[in-house]
Structures are given as structure tokens and as C-alpha cells.
Amino acid sequence: MKTLIVDDSRLARQELRHLLQRHPDVQVVGEARHADEAQQLLPNLQPDLLLLDIHMPGRSGFELLASLDHAPHVIFTTAFDQYAIQAFEVNALDYLLKPVDVQRLAAALAKARTALLADAEAPEEAAAPREVLRETDQVFVKDGERCWFVRLADVKLLEVADNYTRVHFHDVRPLITRSLQHLEARLDPKVFFRANRQQIINLKWVENVEPWFSNSLKISLRGGLEVEVSRQQSIRFREALSL
């Protein structure tokens, strides 16, 4: 399990390395002192897991994740307890308070192993590519006992919700079991745009675009929904849709 430690404290990084020695399947492939350094290391190291601090010089751990199209699994390690809810909203595996407890770290790493095993065994990854769906196509959506047959043109937003994907259309927001990555591969990229790690938007529903922090964009969809586009995807958005 290739692991990258991201923390501005040298002592905190040393302590994590020491604790990880108890777990022979964990390989620390690198360390980063802040979000920018981590983002530079990620393409070459391609870690399976981030041990990620929140407060660092420059961008926070949350801002790092928001700027990535595809991020490794994440375990937050921080001295602050008030960000736990936000951490799980970005699909963190666990949230460890410093000083990191040995047993809590072991439990978090067990979650990481389970998640990586699920990734490796995911049938959608091995399945043959399927035909791309067009906005004029209709799709079957089932959430519990409720079912819909909806045109993709009416779907304004798809977003991660724990281990599900929430689909926004009309006045309903059902949950489906497909991953956002699987859905992205099936949707027409000329219509459906990956705004960030968590959300895909239907470009036909865009009402307003405005500059946002760090050269990113904020998009308002018809009906009142707002989506923050990651910095990298904001560049792609401008390139694809500018005259």
C-alpha cells in the first residue's frame, strides 16, 4: 500500500513513519510539506493512500483534494477536531487526531486495505466499454422502491454521496449504486463535464459562470444549484468552451 505523507511538521511526519513501521504492507513512498509539493509528487509516485494534514502553509488539505481529478484514498491526520464532518463529505476513509493513536491508525489502515481490495475487484473496471449515452437517451433510475425513466437531458447534476451517486433531475435526487467514474465513462463529454472529484454537471443547465478562488470557477445551474470547479478542470472548461 503505497503511502504519501503530507504534513508541514517534520516531527509529525517522522512520527507517522515510525508508527507505519508496524505495518509491513505499507510503503511510504514520499513526504510533502504542503499541498503544492504533494501535487507535484502525486503524478510520479501514484500512491494508493494519502495521510493528509488539514492546516498547512498555502492551501489546506481540503483545497488539495478539490484540485485533483483523481485522488488516492485519504486518511486525515490533524490536530483539529472541528473538520471531521467536512472530511467525510469528501469521502475520507478516516479522521485521526494528533497525536495519532496506534490502534486508531491500525483501524484506519484496515479501512484502506478494504477500499483498495474493492477497487481491484470492482467489476466495472474489468467490464468491456459500453456505448456512450447521448442526452436524448432515456435511462432507468431506481432508488429503493421508487423508479424513474428519465431523459439524460433532464439530469442537471451527478454527485458523490458516500458510496453512491446522487442524480439530480426534476425535483428529485435519488441515489444509485454506480460510481461517478463509471458514469463519467458512459456519458457524452460534450454535454456532461467533470467539474471536480465529486460532481459532474450537464452543460446545458449552466446559467452563470464566475471567477472563483485560485483561478478556479463557480458555476450556477438553472434551479439554484452551485458547483465549484477545481482549478485544473477550470482550465479545461475555459479551453473547451472559449471562442
The grid coordinates of residue 68 equal: 485533483
240 CB-near residues (< 8 Å, 6+ apart)? 193
Would you state the pLDDT for residue 181? 84
Would you state the pLDDT for residue 163? 74
Would you state the pLDDT for residue 130? 59
CA-to-CA separations, 113 to 13, 25, 77, 177, in angstroms, rounded: 21, 10, 18, 21
The grid coordinates of residue 19 equal: 508508527
Q: Are 179 and 194 in contact (CB under 8 A)?
A: no
Would you state the pLDDT for residue 68? 78
Q: Are strands 73-78 and 94-97 parallel, antiparallel or unpaired?
A: parallel
The grid coordinates of residue 228 equal: 465549484
196: phi then psi, degrees, rounded to nearest 5: -165, -170
Would you state the pLDDT for residue 125? 47
Q: Which residues of the chain have pLDDT under 50?
A: 125-128
Would you state the pLDDT for residue 204? 95
Grid cell 467525510 in the structure block, residue: 88
Calculate the CA 168 to chain-centre distance.
18
- Structural domains in the chain, CATH included, are 2-121 (3.40.50.2300), 138-241 (2.40.50.1020)
pTM for the model: 0.57
For the four alpha carbons of 143, 147, 151 and 156, in that order, the dihedral sign comes to negative
Would you state the pLDDT for residue 217? 94
The grid coordinates of residue 137 equal: 437517451
Please write down the HEC assignment for all residues of the chain.
Answer: CEEEEECCCHHHHHHHHHHHCCCCCCEEEEEECCHHHHHHHHHHHCCCEEEECCCCCCCCHHHHHHCCCCCCEEEEEECCCCCHHHHHHCCCCEEEECCCCHHHHHHHHHHHHHHHHHHHHCHHHHCCCCCCECCCCEEEEEECCEEEEEEHHHEEEEEEECCEEEEEECCECCEECCCHHHHHHHECCCCEEECCCCEEEEHHHEEEEEECHHHCEEEEECCCCEEEECHHHHHHHHHHHCC
Would you state the pLDDT for residue 129? 53
Would you state the pLDDT for residue 128? 47
Would you state the pLDDT for residue 51? 98
For the four alpha carbons of 67, 235, 227 and 135, in that order, the dihedral sign comes to negative
CA distance 93 to 71: 12
